[in-house]
Amino acid sequence: MNFINDIDNMKKCIVENTEYMKSFEGTGDTLRDELKKFNDEILEKRLAMGETLIRLKTKQKRLDQILEMAGNDSDTLQQFEKKYADLNASEAQKRSNIKLTSEYKEFKDELVGNVNASTAIGSNGNMEAEIMEIVETGDTACSMYDPWTKGLMLNPMRNIKCGHHYDRDSVMSVIKNNMSVRCPVVGCATKSYIQPNHLQADLTLQQKINDHKAEQEASLSSEDDED
């Protein structure tokens, strides 16, 4: 996707430009000190530029994904239009805080380097960042449900490329005859096609699902006193 490459190049350009400007900073020399002040001042603007670029990139990825999903699920143009509109509407409701994504944090680290600048930005803990990343991918990263069948997974497999999960039977049947299937989770940033060697059984999630099922069964049997 050219657009995404362009965005990445622009981000890289901002980082390189910042590093270049910083290389002229110095101490003791009035003009160089002034240059440092100037660099510090525009750091905020550069961070804002990065934020905007990452937001655009995220949006592009989501639109690509939606387009593909709508395309896969539709037989007619009307179906496609409806599906696309629905997905788009549900996507529009999702808001993510770009500043809490790892991409932004990386960008910020690169810009700030080892210099302690503007700690006010993105000073939230890692926990929160992880939560936001999950929101950003459009679905809970450890959903207990298979993205294709929407059913509770029996044998959850983790895609090592993006961390999303699929039920083993479900994903295997989907990729068996099709080598070019991408992760179906809305907003998933990974562009690689799903391959069997990208899939790992997730025993932790499996345990979680088993616990969930046991809980449900327990509450059901206590409700109607059967079995």
CB of 52 to Zn ion, least distance (A): 24
Contact 184, 147 (CB under 8 A): yes
For Zn ion, which residue of 57, 62, 99, 164 counts as binding (CB under 5 A)?
Answer: 164
Between 162 and 175, name the residue whose CB sits nearer to Zn ion. Answer: 162
Question: How far is the C-alpha of 69 from the C-alpha of 83, rounded, in Å?
Answer: 9
- List the structure tokens of 184: 């179906």
For Zn ion, which residue of 69, 70, 185, 194 counts as binding (CB under 5 A)?
Answer: 185
Between 46 and 61, name the residue whose CB sits nearer to Zn ion. Answer: 61
- Which 188-227 positions form the footprint of Zn ion (CB under 5 A)? 188
Count of alpha carbons within 13 angstroms of residue 197, beta-carbon side: 0
User: String of b and e for 78-88 (b: at least 16 CB within 10 Å)?
Assistant: eebeebbeebe
CB of 181 to Zn ion, least distance (A): 11
What are the DSSP E strand ranges found in the chain?
Answer: 156-159, 165-167, 199-201
For Zn ion, which residue of 54, 70, 111, 162 counts as binding (CB under 5 A)?
Answer: 162
CB of 191 to Zn ion, least distance (A): 10
* Contact code string over 106-145 relative to Zn ion, x by CB under 5 A: ----------------------------------------
CB of 91 to Zn ion, least distance (A): 15
Write the CA distances from 9 to 2, 3, 115, 186, integer angstroms: 10, 10, 24, 25
Q: Which residues bind Zn ion (CB under 5 A)?
A: 162, 164, 183, 185, 188
